[in-house]
């Protein structure tokens, strides 16, 4: 292979046209001279996000698909990926789940699925780790922002259980269904967690301050670790990854990529973008492939903050300038899924993609509408890696 590959995944990059932006998406409205330079001198198109029929795309499934892994066969469950990203070791038989600190009323109606995106959760987590369930060890660890990873450790535990997250506010939390013993264990955990959180000094203080308490746990993504072909075994490439969010760290680790750490890379709007791009520039000589994940666009769109999403895209573009002079490198920029700032949710709309360092097709701007005209065409996400390799010599 003569060219190295840098894959930049901007989480939730695509969007819908927004009236307040004169009918443009945040990406279209953004001032992005560096993206546009790469688009004019590269090849553009659209990528259809992987999703289960009748459902919106998920971050874990779309990322696995980007790397050429069929999520139905390869995914161990969101919980496993979160726990791996946190840095916890998973033992054989462990059942892992991802949790959100959330706010519910006395009738378990969801008021806020993320408890105002609470971040300082360490003392809440410390209290949750005191929960005792007969025959099961419960391990709760901090993940990204309002999220936690939970390990249930014991004999003959099942991951065949549903989520209690309705994924909407104003609706009662769902009843967990599935394997009876595991359902009972999760119900006991949730009941004890709710009692602890309702009476926790931090939440009492938040209520006094007029803020929402983090008084409930929404669970999803139950799974057990499974062994799959690593990225190197699959493609013969030494791969590294840079990410702030625990899920994306977990995906990198699950695929056997090497973590490249960057101080201040935290997955928020305040992430160290400059440090991330400088590190990619420095480290690409040591790797065949680097996956760089940038999170905040997704969160901003989920909160309806389309102006901030536009501004964050502009910040990414400014820092991208550091990679423009690299030689013998293929730069691929896309999203995992689009996220609608109007609907405040993931979207099944296709992702724009640009590939720089090979063929040229002269798109005027990196945007959803322009990429639709690109000669790269429209591609299924699961086929993306194969297509990228056709643009590098030696494949």
Euclidean distance between CA atoms 152 and 137, whole angstroms: 6
Label residues 51-62 b or e (16+ Cβ within 10 Å = b): beeeebbbbbbb
Per-residue pLDDT tens digits of the chain, which is 395 residues long: 458 999 999 999 999 999 999 999 999 999 999 999 999 999 999 999 999 999 999 999 999 999 999 999 999 999 999 999 999 999 999 999 999 999 999 999 999 999 999 999 999 999 999 999 999 999 999 998 899 999 999 999 999 999 999 999 999 999 999 999 999 999 999 999 999 999 999 999 999 999 999 999 999 999 999 999 999 999 999 999 999 999 999 999 999 999 999 999 999 999 999 999 999 999 999 999 999 999 999 999 999 999 999 999 999 999 999 999 999 999 999 999 999 999 999 999 999 999 999 878 778 899 999 999 998 899 999 999 999 988 775 43
pTM above 0.75, yes or no: yes
Whether 93 contacts 157, CB under 8 Å: yes
- For the chain, list the domains and their CATH numbers: 4-75+227-390 (3.40.720.10), 83-223 (3.30.70)
Please work out, in degrees rounded to the nearest 5, the angle formed at the alpha carbon of residue 59 by the alpha carbons of 55 and 60.
Answer: 100
pLDDT score, position 2: 59
pLDDT score, position 394: 41
Euclidean distance between CA atoms 74 and 72, whole angstroms: 6
pLDDT score, position 393: 56
Category of 152 on φ-ψ map: left (φ > 0), alpha (ψ -120 to 50) or beta: beta
| Residue 106: CA count within 13 A, CB half-sphere | 0
Long-range CB contacts for residues 232-237, cutoff 8 Å, separation at least 24: 232/256, 234/68, 235/68, 235/289, 235/385, 235/389, 237/1, 237/5, 237/288, 237/289
Category of 107 on φ-ψ map: left (φ > 0), alpha (ψ -120 to 50) or beta: alpha
Residue 47 β-bridge partners? 351, 379
pLDDT score, position 17: 97
Whether 265 contacts 246, CB under 8 Å: no
């Amino acid at each position: 292979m003569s060219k190295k590959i840098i894959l930049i995944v901007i989480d939730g990059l695509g969007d819908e046209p927004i009236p307040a932006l004169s009918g443009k998406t945040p990406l279209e409205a953004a001032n992005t001279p560096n993206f546009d330079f790469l688009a004019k001198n590269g090849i553009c198109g659209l990528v259809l996000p992987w999703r289960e029929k009748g459902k919106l795309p998920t971050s874990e499934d779309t990322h696995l698909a980007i790397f050429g892994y069929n999520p139905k066969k390869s995914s161990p469950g969101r919980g496993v990926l979160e726990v791996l990203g946190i840095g916890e070791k998973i033992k054989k038989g462990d059942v892992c789940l991802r949790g959100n600190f959330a706010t519910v009323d006395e009738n378990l109606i969801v008021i806020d699925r993320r408890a105002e995106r609470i971040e300082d959760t360490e003392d809440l987590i410390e209290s949750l780790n005191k929960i005792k369930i007969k025959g099961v060890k419960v391990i709760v660890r901090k993940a990204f922002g309002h999220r936690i990873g939970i390990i249930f450790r014991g004999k003959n535990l099942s991951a065949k259980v549903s989520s209690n997250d309705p994924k909407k506010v104003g609706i009662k939390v769902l009843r967990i269904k599935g394997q009876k013993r595991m359902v009972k264990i999760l119900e006991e955990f949730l009941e004890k967690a709710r009692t602890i959180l309702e009476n926790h000094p931090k939440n009492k203080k938040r209520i006094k301050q007029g803020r929402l308490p983090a008084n409930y746990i929404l669970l999803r993504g139950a799974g057990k670790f499974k062994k799959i072909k690593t990225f190197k075994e699959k493609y013969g490439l030494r791969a590294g990854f840079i990410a702030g969010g625990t899920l994306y760290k977990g995906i990198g680790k699950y695929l056997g990529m090497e973590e490249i750490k960057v101080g201040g890379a935290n997955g928020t709007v305040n992430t160290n973008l400059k440090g991330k791009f400088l590190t990619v520039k420095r480290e690409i000589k040591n790797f065949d492939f680097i996956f760089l994940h940038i999170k905040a666009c997704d969160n901003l769109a989920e909160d309806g903050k389309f102006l901030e999403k536009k501004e964050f895209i502009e910040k990414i573009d400014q820092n991208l300038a550091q990679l423009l002079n690299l030689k013998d490198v293929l730069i691929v920029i896309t999203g995992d899924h689009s996220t609608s700032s109007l609907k405040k949710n993931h979207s099944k709309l296709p992702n724009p993609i640009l590939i720089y360092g090979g063929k040229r097709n002269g798109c005027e701007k990196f945007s959803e509408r322009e990429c639709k005209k690109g000669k790269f065409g429209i591609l299924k996400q699961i086929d993306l890696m194969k297509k990228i390799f056709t643009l590098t010599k030696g494949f």
